[in-house]
């Protein structure tokens, strides 16, 4: 699928897509700042965002960056007994350490991303809880070695009319300071509030933490500058006209891993690309308009990469969770997370 057809498949008007793209650049950019860059009124931007959020199309969430905090990251495949995957998926989606989760393989497989603060918590889930669950037939965990795509909120921008290079520079998010990233125990109320709404006002965050607005602003600025916290943008891609998504598991020679990963990361259909451990050493998340476009993508784009030795496709039956949202009827909702 070509880039133009990707853009034309969206259902929103161009201005709404530019608002989305602006938030992908900086999830906490003020409506006034976005309006200035887009050349429209602040009220217009605010109305577009609030309508899309109310419709379950977009959510901005503040998340901890596992790579900056030394957390382990794994893409996990769980083979389930027929009829048991949906219930298990709903349970796993409520866990705070499960970043996103898909039902695939006709509803008998769960694919999810696990971000664990410690190796002990990861092993407790992968080596004890899941294997002992009667619904689970097999578990395979693929540790993330390198992310070619999926490190920024604007990695997938195939949704519609985008900002110009000049507008992107004007909206540039705060740069990292280079200082070590860390979080403290008393940051938890702040982090929980940002996970619910990354655009929560300082007044709202102050009420959630019991801090002053000045202290909230100062601490949030530090967390952003060190890279401990980043702001992601969840999009309900089905509502944007993209109804065929899939996980690709590719096997390539180690010498070709970088070139193939970078090539796929450059495709507008790609939402995430990582080098992983396991028999398949490259994973990709692909977003297409329909099954025909997915077929063309596989045969024409992936098929044109001679270094790909083997390919397995796991079409998504239902996206249960994204970075910070539970999906209900294809719409984004606030998750009720469990720390267990």
Report all structural domains of the chain as residue ranges with CATH numbers, in order of start.
Answer: 3-66+154-235 (1.10.10.2890), 72-150+243-325 (3.30.70.3460)
User: Cα(151)–Cα(289) distance, rounded to whole angstroms?
Assistant: 23
- Is residue 291 within 8 A of residue 299, CB to CB? The reply is no
Rounded to two decimals, what is the model's pTM? Answer: 0.88
Residue 127: per-residue pLDDT: 65
* Residues in the chain, pLDDT under 70: 1-11, 117-119, 122, 127, 336-340
The total number of residues written for the chain in this structure: 340
User: Cα(220)–Cα(227) distance, rounded to whole angstroms?
Assistant: 11
Residue 315: per-residue pLDDT: 96
**For the chain, how long is the longest CA-to-CA vector?**
58
Residue 324: per-residue pLDDT: 79
Residue 232: per-residue pLDDT: 92
User: Cα(85)–Cα(148) distance, rounded to whole angstroms?
Assistant: 30
Residue 1: per-residue pLDDT: 36
User: Cα(309)–Cα(305) distance, rounded to whole angstroms?
Assistant: 9
**CA-to-CA separations, 167 to 17, 42, 154, 161, in angstroms, rounded:** 14, 16, 14, 13
Residue 125: per-residue pLDDT: 75
**CA-to-CA separations, 57 to 50, 157, 241, in angstroms, rounded:** 10, 15, 11
Residue 337: per-residue pLDDT: 60
């Amino acid at each position: 699928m070509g880039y133009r057809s990707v853009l034309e498949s969206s259902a929103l008007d161009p201005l709404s897509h530019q608002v989305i793209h602006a938030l992908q650049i900086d999830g906490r950019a003020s409506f006034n700042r976005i309006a200035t860059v887009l050349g429209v009124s602040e009220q217009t931007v605010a109305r577009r965002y609030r309508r899309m959020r109310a419709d379950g199309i977009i959510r901005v969430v503040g998340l901890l960056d596992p790579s900056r905090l030394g957390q382990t990251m794994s893409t996990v495949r769980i083979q389930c007994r027929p009829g048991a995957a949906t219930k298990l998926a709903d349970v796993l989606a409520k866990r705070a350490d499960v970043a996103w989760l898909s039902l695939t393989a006709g509803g008998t497989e769960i694919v999810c991303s696990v971000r664990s603060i410690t190796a002990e918590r990861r092993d407790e889930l992968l080596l004890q809880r899941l294997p002992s669950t009667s619904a689970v037939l097999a578990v395979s965990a693929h540790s993330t070695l390198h992310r070619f795509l999926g490190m920024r909120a604007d990695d997938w921008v195939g949704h519609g009319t985008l900002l110009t290079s000049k507008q992107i520079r004007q909206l540039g998010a705060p740069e990292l300071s280079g200082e070590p990233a860390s979080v403290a125990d008393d940051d938890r109320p702040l982090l929980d509030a940002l996970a619910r709404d990354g655009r929560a006002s300082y007044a709202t965050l102050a009420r959630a933490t019991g801090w002053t607005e000045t202290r909230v602003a100062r601490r949030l600025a530090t967390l952003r500058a060190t890279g401990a916290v980043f702001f992601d943008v969840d999009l309900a891609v089905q509502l944007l006209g993209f109804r065929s998504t899939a996980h690709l598991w590719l096997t390539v020679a180690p010498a070709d891993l970088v070139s193939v990963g970078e090539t796929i990361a450059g495709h507008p259909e790609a939402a995430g690309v990582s080098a992983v451990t396991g028999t398949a050493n490259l994973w990709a998340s692909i977003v297409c308009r329909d099954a025909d476009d997915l077929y063309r993508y596989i045969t024409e784009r992936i098929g044109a990469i001679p270094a790909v030795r083997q390919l397995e496709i796991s079409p998504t039956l239902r996206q249960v969770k994204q970075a910070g949202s539970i999906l209900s009827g294809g719409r984004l909702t606030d998750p009720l997370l469990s720390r267990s």
